[in-house]
């Protein structure tokens, strides 16, 4: 009894004076979000076992996928201090799921002869998303790459003839073909392809620390791989190339392979643009 009492006192003393976390965070622990962190620039940061870059100013970023598991672990080790290991609960988002049955099979799956092409293109895209550069552009406030009616939201999913298709990993803005497309924040162009099977004219801009923007269905690319771009710079013209059903800009944001909702990074679309009557939906 005595021992238990003593240990109880020790535990209470620790509880009363918890060590302050050696970092601060900004963002919501919810699926599809980025979380921005700040710590000692010398710190070693790991998120779910993945080592993260820490900038010379102490900034880091992590992403919570559309389907992120509920439990996430952040480990921050500052030299000379015990490592901080903390678990966070990621809130699930209720994504829009639509079931469509009775479609002709050709409409559900790409033709078999396109398999090799699609696989090759996927390798290029995966390589672009895998980049982990020291750029700090991701710390800027993101801007919409184009203004118009939001015609498709992030995370929605269609189940065609019982087969779940890839969720919609981006936001669609209905704009006429040829509309200027602006860099949401600065970066370096990591992929510029005029004609990919699914996405047609496609740009990927590396914003640093694994954060990138994907801009697709473009009719014209105004930049090439390796170009440095500034926030707001015109990087392309919109279109409806690839498997698009109408003219629109599709904008995706990634943290490595994780899918982030771009709309969580920008202010609401200005009302006049949001109300504009421009037709045609997502791809
Ligand atoms: Zn889209």
Ligand 1 centre to CA of 20 (Å) is 42
Classify the phi-psi angles of 161: left when phi > 0, otherwise alpha if psi is within -120 to 50, otherwise beta: left
Radius of gyration over alpha carbons of the chain, in Å?
22
In whole angstroms, what is the distance from residue 39 CA to residue 23 CA?
Answer: 4
In whole angstroms, what is the distance from residue 248 CA to residue 243 CA?
Answer: 12
User: What is the pLDDT tens value at each position of the chain, 283 positions in all?
Assistant: 344 444 444 444 455 556 688 999 999 999 999 999 999 999 999 999 999 999 999 999 999 999 999 999 999 999 999 999 999 999 999 999 988 888 777 767 788 889 999 999 999 999 999 999 999 999 999 999 999 999 999 999 999 888 888 899 999 999 999 999 999 999 999 999 999 999 999 999 999 999 999 999 999 999 999 999 999 999 999 999 998 889 999 999 999 999 999 999 999 998 766 555 444 444 5
Ligand 1 centre to CA of 115 (Å) is 21
Ligand 1 centre to CA of 215 (Å) is 9
Bridge pairing between strands 200-208 and 171-174: unpaired
Enumerate residues with CB within 5 Å of ligand 1 (an ion): 152, 170, 172, 250, 282-283
Ligand 1 centre to CA of 99 (Å) is 18
In whole angstroms, what is the distance from residue 237 CA to residue 259 CA?
Answer: 24
Span(s) in the chain for CATH 2.70.70.10: 97-275
DSSP code, position 184? S
Give the residues across from 101 on adjacent strands.
none
Span(s) in the chain for CATH 2.60.40: 22-89
Ligand 1 centre to CA of 60 (Å) is 28
Ligand 1 centre to CA of 80 (Å) is 47
CATH superfamily of 97-275: Glucose Permease (Domain IIA) (2.70.70.10)
Ligand 1 centre to CA of 148 (Å) is 14
Residues 6+ apart with CB under 8 A from 208: 133, 134, 135, 136, 137, 138, 187
Architecture of the domain whose range is 22-89: Sandwich (2.60)
Taking the model in full, what pTM does it have? 0.88
């Amino acid at each position: 009894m005595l021992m238990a009492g003593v240990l109880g006192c020790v535990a209470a003393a620790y509880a009363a004076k918890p060590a302050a976390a050696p970092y601060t965070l900004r963002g919501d622990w919810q699926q599809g979000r980025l979380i921005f962190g700040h710590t000692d620039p010398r710190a070693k940061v790991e998120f779910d076992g993945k080592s993260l870059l820490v900038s010379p100013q102490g900034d880091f970023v992590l992403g919570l996928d559309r389907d992120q598991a509920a439990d996430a672990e952040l480990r921050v080790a500052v030299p000379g201090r015990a490592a901080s290991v903390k678990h966070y609960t990621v809130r699930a988002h209720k994504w829009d799921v639509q079931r469509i049955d009775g479609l002709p099979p050709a409409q559900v799956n790409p033709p078999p002869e396109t398999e090799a092409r699609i696989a090759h293109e996927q390798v290029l895209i995966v390589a672009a998303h895998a980049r982990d550069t020291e750029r700090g552009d991701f710390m800027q406030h993101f801007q919409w790459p184009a203004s118009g009616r939001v015609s498709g939201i992030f995370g929605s999913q269609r189940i065609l003839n019982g087969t779940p298709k890839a969720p919609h990993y981006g936001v669609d803005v209905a704009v006429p073909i040829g509309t200027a497309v602006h860099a949401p924040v600065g970066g370096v162009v990591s992929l510029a392809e005029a004609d990919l099977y699914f996405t047609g004219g496609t740009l990927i801009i590396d914003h640093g620390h694994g954060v990138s923007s994907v801009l697709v269905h473009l009719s014209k690319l105004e930049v090439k791989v390796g170009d440095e771009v500034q926030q707001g710079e015109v990087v392309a013209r919109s279109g409806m190339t690839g498997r698009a059903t109408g003219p629109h800009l599709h904008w995706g944001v990634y943290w490595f392979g994780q899918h982030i909702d771009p709309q969580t990074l920008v202010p609401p679309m200005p009302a006049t643009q949001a109300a504009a009557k421009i037709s045609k939906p997502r791809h």
